[in-house]
A and B are shown apart, each in its own frame.
Chain A
């Protein structure tokens, strides 16, 4: 089979399957565009560039989908998110920002809009998704673990950005920028909420995978799971608002949905 024919075959197959010439016309993405144009476009923009009409009024800017860069993932630093990761963000919203929970849309509409959102970046068509990082079960919140976690926070120099007391006021806190050149501040961990979900597993995941597109790096290469759980418990000790799981949890627990 010649090179040219080899390239043509999947194209013709695509036509036979009823797939049109533009990505936005394929199955769920077409339906997702309807959802997107109604609910998402005002902030995220018709081009998916995060520059909708309302974006200028927001200090935490709406996601620009074109790079395939997402803060909240179960997958390693820099890699694409899984559909279930995007679903998690849609369901939970992002605490402290204008992004609400989209639980009322229903699962089908969320799936469709995820397909459409993915069509803004060519990466989803060309890159393989990576496996989520493995997260062992939470051994449970305890004073001993919090004490060890204090040492982990110091050993890993979290205070460089988040400050000695976790308030987001470390020496490197004041001139950080994201991939889009927007100023960005380290999170104040004493607020008692983490943006992308408050379960112990969510907190674990955030610092182990990092927040792609921001200065927050991934610690999964340098930190042991035991240290990571102690660090989660130390962070939880910074506010009475965190829901502490004294009994411990199984792996892959689902996050609490915002009320």
Chain B
């Protein structure tokens, strides 16, 4: 059985490589190849910096607090809604900021990403990642959580790991695709986090004032992309000059 099946698989792989580019469905599967393969690590000695702020225009949507429905003795009966975290000057937190289509530049940090289950929420809410990077998932809560990343587009499970008690942590690789991952905890249905896989290490997430910095960018013309779970995405052209900081102001509209 195994021999026959593997022969089928080999034949199918051949077909994918041969005819894949003309068949849209099969071509989609080729996207499974890590985008890291398209990125070259070089020593950046004359890099520039992109320094900016992402703001929300107009009134901040009034989001009702999360009403917890289980483990209230630990989680409390309600939790502040984290969808729009906007400060008094409009700066918005939890916006993923990255450069698109960068082919060469600095090395990735090599440190695993972190995703912490704390006080019945995920932290951080949103973060970028190198394609296929490792992620350390941990729990600070004395209750059962499960960390369940799924494709944001199709809901297909990537994996689903139990975090049964406080202090447990595990490190797992992210898959080569999809690009945008939505993480949920089934045991506490209000818990969500977002991870965007990016083909280069020039990504960050805005802080509580909406501020971000991308360092050691080789001089040149780029497209800066921002993404927020509710306010959507936007891209802006940016020119990076050797040894200089380019200032950026990006505004997203509430939806």
Contacts and interface: CB of A to CB of B under 8 A. Distances in A.
A and B associate: yes
Given A26-B11, A219-B164, A7 B148 contact: no
A39 interface: no
B107 interface: no
Contact of B12 (A23, A212, A222): A23
A131 interface: no
A17 B18 CA distance: 14
Given A10-B15, A212-B157, 8 more contacts: A8-B18, A14-B15, A122-B16, A122-B29, A155-B165, A177-B186, A213-B156, A217-B146
Contacts of B26: 122, 125
A12 B11 CA distance: 11
Interface in A1-40: 7-14, 17, 19, 21, 23, 26-29
B45 interface: no
Contact of A77 (B1, B5, B160): B160
Given A156-B165, A175-B69, A180-B155, A216 B18 contact: no
A119 B159 contact: no
Main secondary structure of the interface of B (DSSP, over half): mixed
A222 B162 contact: yes
Contacts of A12: 18
Contacts of A221: 161-162, 170
A118 to B, nearest CB: 8
Interface centre among A8, A115, A122, A171, by most chain B C-beta atoms within 10 angstroms, is A122
Nearest to B70: A171
A126 interface: yes
A83 B7 CA distance: 13
Nearest to B33: A126
Contacts of B21: 7
A219 B164 CA distance: 8
A11 B18 contact: yes
Contacts of B19: 11, 21
A111 interface: yes
B3 to A, nearest CB: 11
Nearest to A156: B164
A259 interface: no
Interface residues of A, number: 62
A119 to B, nearest CB: 7
B17 A19 contact: no
How many residues of B sit at the interface, in one of the four size bands? 35 or more
24 contacts: A8-B18, A14-B11, A21-B15, A67-B157, A76-B159, A78-B157, A107-B1, A119-B12, A122-B16, A122-B28, A122-B29, A123-B29, A126-B16, A126-B32, A158-B144, A160-B70, A175-B189, A179-B155, A214-B160, A217-B147, A219-B164, A221-B162, A222-B163, A222-B168
A69 B148 CA distance: 14
A19 to B, nearest CB: 5
Interface string B94-115: 0000000000000000000000
Given A216-B160, A219-B164, A125 B16 contact: yes
Contacts of B186: 172, 176-177, 215, 217
A176 B185 CA distance: 10
B134 interface: no
A124 interface: yes
Contacts of B188: 172
A23 B25 CA distance: 11
Interface in B130-168: 143-144, 146-148, 150, 154-165, 168
Given A172-B188, A222-B163, A11 B17 contact: yes
